[in-house]
């Protein structure tokens, strides 16, 4: 069994050079990043009862799965965390390593999927952000991700709901009309409803603690937290 979908890896490898261009093919992720960083940081500080400082995540071990070019790994490192970033695309990892070196950031990047990660330690926090809709087998992927998380650790999963609204917004709107993303970035058949993801996670010792929606405001080009989970949503789990 495997979690890697070769077609998905090839698709993102072809545009790997675009990761750090805020006006390029990953522009939507750059716009999305501030709310993701704040959500992760605030929840970690609260749940681990950490002191608020310039580096509040100091000494925490974080695994960023499907890290791409490092858009989340780098902010987590700047906040003080010990970060391991993994991605099944060698090109993505090369871009991430180069950018981290340019910015003098110590991040342990590896070309790997969760099931292929050779590492002895387990992590305080695992980030599965905008990745589950691109994997080959979501149940296997969650199982292998959970295996790498410490007991009482936190896993964040952000993805797209499987609704008609998500098809209209994330595919028709974002890819075909607004041209925010390359056509074919998403496959609606791979989207998953929160209740189905929660069931899969529960089987793998992950207990839901929080479910929030994330909504884009066209007027000011920004994202905000919302009770509306019909398109984008984020889940927070504790390892039982």
**3-state DSSP percent of the chain in helix, strand and coil, to 5:** 40, 25, 35
Full-model pTM: 0.95
- CA-based R_g, the chain, Å: 17
* Closest alpha carbon to 232 in 178, 201, 194, 183: 194
pLDDT at 13: 96
Look up the domain containing 209 and give its range: 6-161+192-239
In a domain, 173, yes or no: no
Residue-wise pLDDT for 42-95, tens only, equals 999 999 999 999 999 999 999 999 999 999 999 999 999 999 999 999 999 999
Tokens of 152: 């009482």
Segment (H or E) for 209? strand 206-217
Residue listed under structure tokens 């925490």: 60
pLDDT at 177: 81
How many domains, the chain?
1
Rounded Cα distance between 188 and 135, Å, is: 13
* Closest alpha carbon to 65 in 103, 106, 119, 23: 119
CB 115 within 8 A of CB 144: yes
In a domain, 109, yes or no: yes
Angle at 38 between CA 154 and CA 105, to 5 degrees: 85
Residue-wise pLDDT for 116-136, tens only, equals 999 999 999 999 999 999 999
Residue-wise pLDDT for 161-217, tens only, equals 999 999 998 899 888 887 878 888 889 999 999 999 999 999 999 999 999 999 988
Which CATH number is 25's domain given? 3.40.50.150
Residue 1's pLDDT band (cuts 50, 70, 90)? confident
Residue listed under structure tokens 């998403």: 186
Q: What is the dihedral of CA 15, 19, 20, 24, to 10 degrees?
A: 60
Residue-wise pLDDT for 174-190, tens only, equals 888 878 788 888 899 99
């Amino acid at each position: 069994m495997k979690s890697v979908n070769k077609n998905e890896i090839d698709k993102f490898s072809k545009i790997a050079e675009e990761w750090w261009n805020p006006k390029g093919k990953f522009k939507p992720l750059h716009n999305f990043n501030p709310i993701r960083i704040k959500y992760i940081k605030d929840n970690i500080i609260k749940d681990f009862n950490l002191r608020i400082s310039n580096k509040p995540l100091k000494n925490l071990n974080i695994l960023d799965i499907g890290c791409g070019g490092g858009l989340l790994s780098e902010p987590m490192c700047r906040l003080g965390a010990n970060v391991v970033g993994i991605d099944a695309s060698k090109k993505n990892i090369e871009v991430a390593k180069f950018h981290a070196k340019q910015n003098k950031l110590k991040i342990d990047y590896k070309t790997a999927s969760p099931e292929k990660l050779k590492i002895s330690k387990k992590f305080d926090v695992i980030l599965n952000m905008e990745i589950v809709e691109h994997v080959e087998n979501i149940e296997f992927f969650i199982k292998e991700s959970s295996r790498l998380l410490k007991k009482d650790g936190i896993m964040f999963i952000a993805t797209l709901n499987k609704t008609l609204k998500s098809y209209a917004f994330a595919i028709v709107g974002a890819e075909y009309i607004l041209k925010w993303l390359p056509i074919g970035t998403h496959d609606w058949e791979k989207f998953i409803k929160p209740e189905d993801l929660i069931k899969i996670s529960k089987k793998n010792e992950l207990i839901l603690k929080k479910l929030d929606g994330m909504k884009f405001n066209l007027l000011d080009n920004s994202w905000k937290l919302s009770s509306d989970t019909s398109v984008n949503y984020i889940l927070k789990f504790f390892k039982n």
